[in-house]
Amino acid sequence: MSTALDHISSHILTQLDLHRATHSILPLFVALQGPQGSGKSYLSDLLHTHLSAPPHSLRLAVLSIDDLYLPHPALLALASTHPTNPLWRGRGQPGTHDIELGEKILATLKQGQGEVEIPRFDKSLYNGEGDRLPMDGSGVVVNGPLDVVILEGWCVGFYPIEEEEVGRRWDGVWEVERERLGLAAYSAENILEVNRKLKEYVRMWSFFDVFVKVRASSLHRITSC
C-alpha cells in the first residue's frame, strides 16, 4: 500500500514540474491541513527529509502555523480585551496567530533572496501558555532561492463563511454538537468573532499553489488538490 508520504511527495513533484513550466518564479507553496493528532508535523518532517535527499535534492522550508502564535503578552491582551469569548483564552483558534509575521515570512521566502529565520513558539513556557522565542538567529535559518515551501496546521486553508450561514448552523446542525460536546459556555457571537478573524488569514492562503488535507484516521489516506 502506498503511504501518505508516497502520495504527497509524488503530488508535490508533479505540481512542481507544472509550476516550473508555467511560472518563472519558484518556490511552489504547499499547504498541509489536518485535525490535531493527524500527524501533520511528522509528515512534514518526512516530506522535508525525503524531498531534500537525492535523487530529488530539493531546497525546502517547512513552517508550522503553531509557530506563528502571538507572543505571550499579545495572547494575554487578546483574552483581556475579549473577556466574554472563551475561544480566545489561550492560543489555538484563528485570531491567536500573527498574520503580519506570517505574510512577511512567506513573502520573503517567495522572493528567494537572502536568509530567513523560521519563527518558533515554545508551548512549555508560562506554565503551558507558551511564548514565541526570539528571532535572533538561534533558530532554523533557510537560504533562498527555494524549490518548495510547506506550511502545516489544523486551520490552514480555512475561509470565513457568511455570518447568516453561521446563524443558520448555530441554530441548526451545530445545536446537537454543542449539546454533545457540552459547549453551553459558548455563544454564536464567540464563533462570529473567530469567523471574522479568518478574513485576515486569507492573505496568507493566497500564497499557496497546492493544498493537501490529511485525514485524522490514518496517514495512509490523504486527499490533495
Q: Is residue 197 part of a domain?
A: no
Q: Is residue 164 part of a domain?
A: no
Write the CB contacts of 151 (distance below 8 Å, at least 6 apart in sequence): 29, 30, 31, 32, 63, 64, 65, 106, 204, 208
Q: Is residue 129 part of a domain?
A: yes
Q: Across residues 166-193, what is the average pLDDT?
A: 89
Structure confidence at residue 153 as a pLDDT band (50, 70, 90): very high
What CATH number corresponds to the domain at position 57?
3.40.50.300
198, pLDDT greater than 70: yes
16, pLDDT greater than 60: yes
d(C-alpha 159, C-alpha 31), whole Å:
14
Q: How many domains does the chain have?
A: 1
Q: Is residue 15 part of a domain?
A: yes
Q: How confident is the model at residue 36, as a pLDDT?
A: 83
143, pLDDT greater than 80: yes
Contact between 108 and 116 (Cβ < 8 Å): yes
Q: How confident is the model at residue 225, as a pLDDT?
A: 46
d(C-alpha 41, C-alpha 217), whole Å:
15
Q: What are the tens digits of pLDDT across the range 88-131?
A: 999 999 999 999 999 999 999 999 888 999 999 999 999 999 99
Q: Across residues 190-211, what is the average pLDDT?
A: 96
Q: Is residue 122 part of a domain?
A: yes
221, pLDDT greater than 50: no
| This prediction's pTM | 0.91
Q: How confident is the model at residue 185, as a pLDDT?
A: 83
Structure confidence at residue 150 as a pLDDT band (50, 70, 90): very high
Structure confidence at residue 220 as a pLDDT band (50, 70, 90): very low
191, pLDDT greater than 90: yes
d(C-alpha 224, C-alpha 105), whole Å:
24
180, pLDDT greater than 90: no
Domain range spanning residue 121? Answer: 4-83+95-159+204-224
Considering the chain, what percentage of its residues have pLDDT values greater than 90? 77
47, pLDDT greater than 70: yes
Structure confidence at residue 2 as a pLDDT band (50, 70, 90): low
Q: Is residue 179 part of a domain?
A: no
Q: Is residue 176 part of a domain?
A: no
